[in-house]
Amino acid sequence: MSDDATLEELVTTLLWEGYALYPYTPGAAKNATPTPFGIVYPPAYAAASPTTYERIRMQGIVAGDAQATVALSVRFLESCGERNEAVARVVELPATGLSQLDGEGIGTRFAFESVRGSVRMGAQRFDETLARVTLSVVNETEVPVGLDRAQALRRSLLSTHVLARVRGAAPATPARFLSPVDPPEHGAAAVMACAAVNTFPVLAGDADDALLGAAIVLPDHPQLAPESRGDLFDATEIEEALLLHVLALSDDEREQIAAHDPAVRAMLARAVAATPAEIVALHGRVTVRDPAPRTDARDGQAGEAQATVDGITYRPGVRVRLRVGDGHAGNATAQDHLLAGRSATVERIYVDYDDAVHLGVTIDDDPGRELMRDIGRYLYFRPADVEVIAP
């Protein structure tokens, strides 16, 4: 699949994330008021609360010369019908040179059945190699003051996603976005000056040529699992559980859910068509690869080489006996009681912001000890919870 097709599939999945709370039937209370992400409310409603917004504003840093172009695509859902149905909308601005975007840049207005607004794109050059682009989406729908939330959602842009694509003028002069999550050192000051309002920008695309303003928090270069069964309206989180829930519905419940919304009806069809092998594949995946170089405290690359508490020095490799005592101050868990008296080996040592020491250990007689060590999964205790076993 091409990079453009992969990115389109990702944006489509995110657009419908949270669209329907199933497997509840239409009359269920949990479906009475939808809980969409990425909401751009009408101004009159947004002004009544500091946590509601009538706009999205996203800035990103482009590494490229003045001939590089930026294109903008805005995707959102518009509410329609009687049962919180929605239709996907797209507003686009064409690829435009950074030099043409200086100042106010370019923009357009849009008007659909129940919402209207504007989209704008501008840029500010820092030097010959760096520029900051500013992208905005504003809901300009006029509504009376005093709407409740359900009424406001019907005049809002729902699940709003902003996608900017940058292109160099020629293959010899590529252009890319710098990461807003983990900016390179040379661009850190510029990226830190960027603003994001009502959106969460991350890099997308193999060549860092796309900046995605998402409605939920994502890492740079988010990906969909190849095992995904398609849009399930919550597929970025617990797709397996949701698919099993749909399959557990009675025929009558499925008919009720599918009766009023084509998008939900298509989702149900995908779920019902899943084979046993496809369902099993959703349970997880094991990727076999060569072991990564160790980066634990024994190499001095993670954690502390040693720590001294109350005159006792702890180092990776020191054996200790676990005990439930004063160190737990009465807050010992059931697991702590099960481990009391067992010997363990210190694998890592961490010091937190309050200068408290935490010992990551593996249990000496645990059959899975080597596996826990290989994947870096340790049990953590405070020095007061252990006693050193003499060599």
Question: Which of 223, 244, 270 is where one domain is finished?
Answer: 223
Please state which of the ranges 21-25, 59-63, 273-277 shows the lowest mean pLDDT: 21-25
| DSSP summary character for residue 100 | G
pTM for the full predicted model = 0.72
**Lowest mean per-residue pLDDT among 66-75, 215-224, 280-289:** 280-289
Q: Is residue 360 part of a domain?
A: yes
**Which of the listed residues 205, 223, 241 is the one where a domain comes to its end?**
223
- Average pLDDT of span 259-272: 83
Which domain-ending residue is among 200, 223, 246? 223
Which tokens belong to 16? 């419908």
Q: Is the residue at 15 inside a domain?
A: no
In a domain, 346, yes or no: yes
103: left (phi over 0), alpha (psi -120 to 50) or beta: left
> Are 195 and 59 contacting, i.e. CB atoms less than 8 angstroms apart?
yes
Same domain, 302 and 218: no
Query: Residue 114: pLDDT above 80?
Result: yes
Which are the contacts of 134, defined by CB distance < 8 A and separation ≥ 6? 57, 58, 59, 105, 120, 121, 122, 123, 124
User: How many domains does the chain contain in total?
Assistant: 2
- Mean per-residue pLDDT over the chain, rounded: 85
Q: Among 252, 42, 270, 242, which residue's Cα sits nearest to residue 154?
A: 42
Report the amino acid identity of residue 327: G
pLDDT number for residue 192 = 61
Question: Residue 309 belongs to what domain range?
Answer: 297-388
Q: What are the distances in angstroms from CA 366 to CA 119, 150, 160, 319, 358? A: 59, 54, 49, 14, 20
How many CA within 13 A on the CB side of residue 378?
Answer: 21
Peptide bond just before 23 cis, omega within 30 deg: yes
